[in-house]
Amino acid sequence: MNLKNLLREIEDFPEEGILFKDITPILKDEDGFNEVIERFLDEFAELEFDYIAAIEARGFLLGPVLSREFACGFIPIRKSGKLPADKVSVTYELEYGESELEMHTDSLEAGDKVLLIDDLLATGGTSLAAIELIEKLEAEVIAAGYLIELTDLPGRSNLQDYNIFSIMKE
């Protein structure tokens, strides 16, 4: 199945000059969504990890499904102000400002192995912030998986120290 045929592109969203990659048609299509999950399962079947962590918001569409399939726990990495208990946070740069990611401090323990999941790899900035959070709790990111990788941006090179997998390269 060619998943690219299901990917919807929207120009100038969320702001002018951005070509937004809308994955909702893939999620809507039963065969397409199953293909995505199967590709992740095939890629990471041989890895040993304790948890899947995913980045809010669209990573949450994939992470819990994969956690169920891999029979492991799910760790949400949230945007600032969304978590009620003690948390660890990281501020990172965006093209147009700063943002912050958070995790509960009891999400992981030292030595835990984590598979990081998100929908899109662009510059790698959000992923690097998520990895920094995980490492602050003395856990280890053993791989990162993405539905889409924008190959004209430096995400893969910025994450060169990590095992990176992407289903679609744009």
Q: Tell me if residue 58 is catalytic.
A: yes
Closest CA to 99 of 130, 143, 139, 141: 130
Q: Tell me if residue 156 is catalytic.
A: no
From the candidates 95, 100, 109, 138, which is the catalytic residue?
95
| Sole residue written with tokens 């984590």 | 114
**Rounded distance between C-alpha atoms, residue 55 and residue 75, angstroms:** 9
**Rounded distance between C-alpha atoms, residue 58 and residue 24, angstroms:** 10
From the candidates 58, 78, 102, 149, which is the catalytic residue?
58
**Rounded distance between C-alpha atoms, residue 167 and residue 145, angstroms:** 8
Q: Catalytic residues, which ones?
A: 58, 95
